Amino acid sequence: MGIWTLDVTTGTQIRDANLNRLLGLEPRETTQPFDEFLTHISPDDVAAVREAFTTSVREGRPLNVEFRVVRPDGRVRWFRDQGDVFGASTSQSPNMAGACVDVTERREAEEALRGSEERLRLILESATDFAIFAMDRDRRVTSWSSGAEVVFGYSAAEAVGQVADMVFVPEDRAAGGPEGEAETALRTGRAADERWHLRRDGTRFWASGVMAPLLNGGGFVKVLRDLTYRKRMEDALRAAHNELEGRVAARTAELERALDALGAEMARRRDLARELATVQEDERRRVSRDLHDTVGQTLTGLGLAAAAGRADRVRELTDQLAREIHQVAIRLRPVALDDMGLDAALAELVRQWSAASGVPVDFVSPGVGRLPAPVETAVYRVAQEALTNVARHARATRAGVSVTRTPDQVSITVEDDGAGFDPGTNWAGRLGLLGMRERVAQIDGTLEIESALGRGTTVIARFPVGP
C-alpha cells in the first residue's frame, strides 16, 4: 500500500516510499506535480483518473477508482486508489489524501474466471448431442444447455424455473421416479439410468442419463443422451431373435430325431445369442463406467473448484470435461472409419494421439483401400488400444504405426521405444492385450506381442482378407 497527499490549489502531490516502489520508482518520499503522477498511468485510463479526482474535489465525496499503471520496465499493473477530501467545508483550501493498492492479481483472477465461464458456456452450447441441465434441491431447472433444447424441444426460457419432472413420462412420475433419482444421487453421489422421457411435443424417446449432486447443497446436474435409435434397433433385434427362436424350436421339435445336425446348429445359435447379450451388457457397463469415472467426477470437481473460487482449476476442469465428453463419444464408435476410410482414420488417430501425448509417431501406410467393415474396425481398435498402452505405461520417446497389405492379408504394427514389459507376467493382462487378442480372434486374425523390460514393445496384428 502506498500513501499520497494532494494540495488541490497548487496541484502538488507528495508520495511516500511505498507508493513510489509500487510505481517501479526509487522507494523514497517525493514531491511533484499531480500531472507527473498521471504520466505513470496507462494513456487509456488517464482521462478517467483525472475525472475521478476532479469529481471527488468538486462534490466533496470519497475517491474510488481503478486504473492501469505502466512501470518503467514496461510491465502493466492494476491499482486501486481510494482517498478523501478534507478542508472543503472550511476557509482553507481543499486537500486530498489517499492510498494506492496493487490489485493486479485480483483483476487477473476475475478475468480468468470470466474467460473460464465463457469457455464452459461455449462447451455446453456446442454439445448438442447431450442434454445438460442443472436443478436446485427442489428439482427446478436453473440452467438449460442448447443440447437440452435440441433433445427435449423446450427453449431455455421455457425450461428455467420449471420442475424437471416435466421430462419424465406420466407412469414414472406416478411411481416416484424423479424423487427416487434425486434421492439416489444424494445418497450415492450419482444416479444412472436408462428410461423413456418426454419431449415438449409429447413424443417419447429412450435416453441414458446420469444425475449428480452439486456440492454444498447446490442442487443437481444431469447429463442425458437420446438413444432412441439404439433402443429401437435392440428391440427389433430382440423381436427378430425371439421370432427366430420360436420358428427354429418348432422345426426342431418336428425333426428332432432325424436332424441331429440341425439341433447342433441351434445350440450354436443359442450360444451366439448369449454371447451377443454379454457383449451388449459389457458395453453398457463400460459406457456407464466411463461417464462415472470421467464426466461425473469432473463435474463434481468443477463444482468444488467454482465454490472455492479457484479460477485456474475451473479452467482446467472445463477443458478436461470437453475432452472427456469427446473421448466417450469416440470410444462408442470410430465414425472416422465410415467418413474417411481406414487410411485417413488411422492417420487422424495417430495425429491426435501424438498431439495429446507429446510422443512423435512415424506413420506408414501405402494405402490399403477399403476393407470389410469388421476388419477395418479391428485394425483401428488394435491401433487405438496399443497407442493407449504406450501413453499410459511405456514412457516412450518415439512410436511407430505401419500398415501393410498383401492379396490375402492386412497387418498393422505398433511399436515404441519405451519401458517394455515381460509378456509372461500377470501385468501384461492388465494392459488390454487380452481384449485385443479376443477382438482379433473374432475375425480369424492373429496377434503377436514382442517386448522385454527396457527394450520397448511391438504389437503385430494380422487379418485375412479376400483379393
Give the chain's domains with CATH numbers: 2-102 (3.30.450.20), 110-230+280-326 (3.30.450.20), 334-464 (3.30.565.10)
pLDDT attached to residue 72 = 93
Q: Do residues 152 and 131 touch, judged by C-beta distance below 8 A?
A: yes
Measured CA to CA, the distance from residue 397 to residue 359 in angstroms comes to 6
State the pTM of this model: 0.36
Give the number of other Cβ atoms within 10 Å of residue 178's Cβ.
19
Q: How far is CA 216 from CA 62, 137, 308, in A?
A: 38, 11, 11
pLDDT attached to residue 337 = 78
φ/ψ of 81, rounded to 5, equals -115, 120
Angle, nearest 10°, between helix axes 260-290 and 311-332? 170
In the β-sheet with 446-451, what is the strand arrangement from edge to edge?
Answer: 361-364, 399-406, 409-416, 457-464, 446-451
Q: Specify the amino acid at residue 142.
A: T
- What letter would DSSP give residue 8? T
- For residue 43, give the C-alpha cell: 494513456
pLDDT attached to residue 181 = 94
pLDDT attached to residue 332 = 60
CB burial of residue 212 (10 Å; 0-12, 13-18, 19+): buried
- For residue 110, give the C-alpha cell: 476475475
Measured CA to CA, the distance from residue 125 to residue 71 in angstroms comes to 41
CA 176 to the chain's CA centroid: 32
**Sequence-separated (6 or more) residues with CB below 8 Å from residue 2:** 15, 16, 18, 19, 20, 21, 22, 23, 99, 100, 101
360-369 per-residue burial string, b: 16 or more CB within 10 A, e: under 16: ebebebeebe
Measured CA to CA, the distance from residue 137 to residue 287 in angstroms comes to 27
Place of cell 426342431: 252
Q: Do residues 409 and 381 touch, judged by C-beta distance below 8 A?
A: no
CB burial of residue 91 (10 Å; 0-12, 13-18, 19+): exposed
Ordered per-residue pLDDT tens for the chain, 467 residues: 899 988 888 889 998 999 999 999 999 999 999 999 999 999 999 999 999 999 988 888 899 999 999 999 999 999 999 888 887 565 567 788 889 999 999 888 888 777 666 665 655 555 557 888 999 999 999 999 888 999 999 999 999 999 999 999 999 999 999 999 999 999 999 999 899 999 999 999 999 999 999 877 779 999 998 888 777 787 788 888 888 888 888 888 888 887 677 676 666 556 544 544 454 555 566 666 666 566 667 777 777 777 777 778 777 877 777 666 666 655 665 666 777 788 998 999 999 999 999 999 999 998 888 888 889 989 999 999 999 899 988 899 999 999 999 989 999 999 999 999 887 775 544 556 777 888 898 889 999 999 999 899 999 999 998 76
**Residue 173 — left, alpha, or beta (φ > 0 → left; ψ -120 to 50 → alpha)?**
alpha
pLDDT attached to residue 432 = 66
Measured CA to CA, the distance from residue 237 to residue 279 in angstroms comes to 14
Q: How far is CA 172 from CA 165, 166, 241, 252, 450, in A?
A: 9, 11, 29, 42, 54
Q: Do residues 402 and 395 touch, judged by C-beta distance below 8 A?
A: no
Q: Specify the amino acid at residue 159.
A: A
- For residue 234, give the C-alpha cell: 435392440
- For residue 167, give the C-alpha cell: 421430462
- For residue 340, give the C-alpha cell: 474417411
